Structure 1
Amino acid sequence: MLRSALILLATIALPVTAQADDYLGNLSANPYAPNSTANPYGAGSRYNANSINNPYGRYGSPYSNESANNPYATEAPKLYDSQGNYRGRLSSNPYDPESVSNPYGRYGSPYSPDSINNPYGAGSPYKPDSPNNPFGNGLRIIGDD
Structure 2
Amino acid sequence: MVRSILFIMTVFAFTQTNAACPYDPNCLSNPYGAGSPYKADGLMNPYSQYGSPYSNKSWRNPYATQAPKLYDQNGNYRGRLSTNPYDPDSTSNPYGRYGSPYSTDSINNPYGAGSPYSSDQIFVYPDE
Q: Which has the higher helix share?
A: 1
- TM > 0.5: yes
Identical aligned residues as a percent:
65
The whole-number CA distance in structure 1 between the counterparts of 2:6 and 2:101 is 25
How many residue pairs get matched? 119
1:26 pairs with 1, 5, 8, which one?
8
Q: Specify every segment of 5 or more residues in structure 1 that has no aligned partner in the other structure, as ranges.
A: 1-18, 130-137
1:54 pairs with 45, 69, 89, which one?
45
CA RMSD of aligned residues (A): 1.5
2:55 pairs with 64, 69, 85, which one?
64
Task: Give 1:25 shift.
Answer: 1.0
Q: Specify every segment of 5 or more residues in structure 2 that has no aligned partner in the other structure, as ranges.
A: 11-16
What letter corresponds to residue 23 of structure 1 in structure 2? I
TM-score, normalised to structure 2's length?
Answer: 0.87
Q: Which residue of 1 aligns with 2:65?
A: 74
Q: Which residue of 1 aligns with 2:124?
A: 141
Task: Give 1:27 shift.
Answer: 2.7
Kept in 2: contact 1:24–1:51 (CA 8 A): no
Structure with greater Cα Rg: 1
1:40 pairs with 31, 36, 45, which one?
31
Stretches of 4+ aligned residues off by more than 6 angstroms: none
Task: Give 1:144 shift.
Answer: 2.5
The whole-number CA distance in structure 2 between the counterparts of 1:117 and 1:109 is 6
